Structure formats: structure tokens, C-alpha cells
């Protein structure tokens, strides 16, 4: 009799366990015995949050603050500061193979979607066409980036570069160095833990006024290389000015500011320095200009950042030029 009762009790217990283990729906793995451990009392990083005005849980850190054990990064986005970082910055720890393996995991999470697993700029966001075709992602195996020092890459990872955002508030200082070490050792085939600084670029030591004076002296003003051979300016077209300003903000403002140097030169006064046709050809096909036009080559040597091709049409470039005429 007792044996029968034990069997019945076991069957009842088994039945209860089967019922309790059934899914409530496809995304729920059963009943919760400790709901306070299953359901977070805090807001998830990317969830809506009624506490903040913008309804975002993942907030930008308060200006002027930084996490503990993190040193302030005092190099801004300007190209000369990237080079200065390359000449002065090294990781505080000697990097070892353990850091390379950890860097690979971080790279896969934060970088491979754009740069690809092999670093050739063929990540999922590019191959899936999630980004427009005009967006060019850096090939980390290019000679230019292979020669770049670890400090330069640390600068880019910290403050961003062109369309690439900043990871200074997302990744700790050490995690950024780990990613760079992985890129240098595994993707670029360089020596593990090398502690070398960048060389000095004389192009950046030349004052802006001296640079432009030398360009005017050494190179004849031309129309550049491209489809536009002449441009008639005439009276200012206000409708074009408005359209050109909107195009500039949408296509150019990530690297150029109207009246001051940023990643690239300011367009303020550009018509005093370059022919109108040269400006339009530079907007239409910067890659060809940099390859074949001597002034465009000098500009790349000075500003370091190659100008992105935004696939603008000739009439759009002409409207941007009309906007440039109003800058003062």
C-alpha cells in the first residue's frame, strides 16, 4: 500500500513539475519562483525611461565628469591633436597576448559591424546596405592605418573620426588600448606590445597663413580635375544659398565648420583661395582630385583626413558653392 502511495505521490509531483515548466509564451521559459531575481528593478540600458526628458535610459555622462580610475583625455578632434596623441600617448600597461584576446572580443562587439572581422571595412552594416553606399568605412589593413601609431588610433577611438562616433564614454581607457593592440597584432601583423610613438609631420607645424601663402606661390590656380571647367557666378541666388546651406549641414558638417577649422578646413574665404570650378570638382570627386591635383594633395598632407565623396550632383555642388559666397 505504501509503495502505491509513493508512486502516486511521485506521479503527482512529476505532473506538477511538468505543468509549472510549460511556457506561458514563446519568449517566457516557464513560471517564476523568484520574480525579484528574474525581473530587473532597474531600467535596461536601451529601454524607454520616463524619468528623463528624452525618455532614454542610456544617458550621456554629465559634462566635466569621468569614471573613477580614468584619466581626462585632453586632445580634441582636430587632426594635429590626433598626430600629437600619436607622438605622446602609450598605454599605461605593457600589452601582452591576454590583452589581444580580450581586445578581439571587444572588437567583435564594438567594431566589426562596420570594419568587418578582418578589418577591411566589410562589416555587416556595409554588406547588408544598412548604410548608404556613399559611407566609406576605413580599411584597417590599408598602409596609411598600418603606419598610424597606437596613440593615433587611441585618439580616433576616443573622440571619433568623421562619421565614426566617440567611444570615450562607452569603453574604459584599458579596453580601448586592448582593441588597438588586437588591431595592430592580429589585423595588421605588427609586433606585440610595441611601444613606439609616431614621427613628426612637418606639414602640421606650418602656420595656416604660411601654408596658404606657399600654395599660392608654388601652384598656379586651376580648375582642378573633373567635369567642371568653368563657373559663372553672377548675382547671388538666395534660393540656392538656402538649399546649399541645407546640403552643407546634411553632407559636410561632420567634418567642416563654416567659419573655423575642424576635421577639415573651413570654407570661409575659399573663393579667395581657389577657383569656383576647383571647389565644385573637389566636392564632386575628392578621390580623383587627391590623386591628380597637386593642391588637393597638399591639403590632404596638412589635414590628414581624406574628404568623403558624398555622391552629390553638379547642381547640388553649385548650390553649396553659392552658400560659401555668403560666409563672412
The residue assigned the cell 520574480 is 35
285 belongs to a structural domain: yes
- Could you list the residue range(s) of the whole structural domain that residue 311 is in? 203-324
Q: Do residues 234 and 278 share a domain?
A: yes
pLDDT in tens, 120-178: 999 999 899 888 877 788 899 998 899 899 999 999 999 998 788 899 888 999 999 99
- For residues 253 and 161, give the distance between their C-alpha atoms in angstroms, rounded to a whole number: 13
196 belongs to a structural domain: no
pLDDT in tens, 44-54: 877 889 988 88
**CB-CB contact of 252 with 320 (8 Å):** yes
- For residues 269 and 325, give the distance between their C-alpha atoms in angstroms, rounded to a whole number: 8
236 belongs to a structural domain: yes
7 belongs to a structural domain: yes
Q: Do residues 103 and 170 share a domain?
A: yes
What is the Cα gyration radius of the chain? 28
Q: Do residues 86 and 157 share a domain?
A: yes
What would the DSSP string read from start to end of 238-300? HHHHHHHHHHHHHHTTTT--SSS-SSS---TTHHHHS-HHHHHHHHH-HHHHHHH-HHHHHHH
Phi, psi of 208 (to 5 degrees): -60, -45
Domain total of the chain: 3
Which residues in the chain show pLDDT less than 70? 1-5, 17-33, 40, 69-71, 201, 203-204
**CB-CB contact of 224 with 276 (8 Å):** no
* pLDDT at res. 208: 84
Can you give the pTM of this predicted structure? 0.60
Q: Do residues 220 and 307 share a domain?
A: yes
**CB-CB contact of 255 with 162 (8 Å):** yes
264 Cβ contact partners less than 8 Å away, ≥ 6 residues apart: 255, 256, 303, 305, 307
Q: Do residues 178 and 211 share a domain?
A: no
- Report helix, strand or coil for 21: helix
Q: Do residues 212 and 300 share a domain?
A: yes
Q: Do residues 284 and 250 share a domain?
A: yes
221 Cβ contact partners less than 8 Å away, ≥ 6 residues apart: 274, 275, 278
Q: Do residues 179 and 224 share a domain?
A: no
Domain CATH for 239: 1.10.760.10
Amino acid at each position: 500500500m505504501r509503495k502505491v502511495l509513493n508512486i502516486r505521490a511521485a506521479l503527482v509531483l512529476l505532473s506538477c513539475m511538468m505543468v509549472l515548466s510549460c511556457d506561458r509564451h514563446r519568449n517566457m521559459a516557464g513560471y517564476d519562483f523568484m520574480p525579484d531575481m528574474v525581473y530587473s528593478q532597474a531600467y535596461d540600458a536601451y529601454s524607454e525611461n520616463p524619468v528623463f526628458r528624452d525618455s532614454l535610459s542610456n544617458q550621456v555622462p554629465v559634462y566635466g565628469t569621468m569614471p573613477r580610475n580614468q584619466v581626462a583625455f585632453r586632445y580634441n578632434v582636430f587632426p594635429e591633436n590626433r598626430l600629437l596623441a600619436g607622438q605622446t600617448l602609450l598605454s599605461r600597461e605593457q600589452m601582452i597576448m591576454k590583452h589581444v584576446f580580450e581586445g578581439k572580443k571587444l572588437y567583435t562587439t564594438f567594431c566589426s559591424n562596420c570594419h568587418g572581422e578582418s578589418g577591411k571595412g566589410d562589416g555587416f552594416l556595409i554588406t547588408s546596405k544598412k548604410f548608404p553606399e556613399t559611407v566609406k568605412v576605413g580599411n584597417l589593413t590599408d598602409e596609411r592605418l598600418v603606419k598610424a601609431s597606437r596613440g593615433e588610433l587611441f585618439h580616433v577611438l576616443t573622440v571619433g573620426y568623421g562619421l565614426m562616433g566617440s567611444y570615450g564614454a562607452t569603453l574604459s581607457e584599458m579596453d580601448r588600448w586592448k582593441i588597438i593592440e588586437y588591431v595592430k597584432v592580429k589585423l595588421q601583423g605588427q609586433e606585440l606590445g610595441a611601444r613606439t610613438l609616431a614621427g613628426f609631420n612637418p606639414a602640421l607645424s606650418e602656420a595656416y597663413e604660411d601654408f596658404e601663402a606657399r600654395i599660392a606661390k608654388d601652384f598656379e590656380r586651376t580648375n582642378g580635375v573633373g567635369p567642371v571647367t568653368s563657373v559663372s557666378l553672377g548675382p547671388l541666388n538666395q534660393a540656392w544659398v538656402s538649399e546649399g546651406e541645407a546640403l552643407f549641414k546634411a553632407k559636410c558638417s561632420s567634418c567642416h565648420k563654416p567659419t573655423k577649422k575642424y576635421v577639415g578646413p573651413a570654407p570661409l574665404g575659399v573663393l579667395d583661395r581657389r577657383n569656383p570650378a576647383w571647389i565644385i570638382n573637389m566636392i564632386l570627386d575628392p578621390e580623383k582630385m587627391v590623386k591628380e591635383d597637386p593642391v588637393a594633395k597638399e591639403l590632404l598632407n596638412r589635414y590628414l583626413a581624406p574628404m568623403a565623396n558624398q555622391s552629390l550632383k553638379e547642381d547640388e555642388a553649385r548650390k553649396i558653392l553659392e552658400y560659401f559666397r555668403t560666409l563672412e
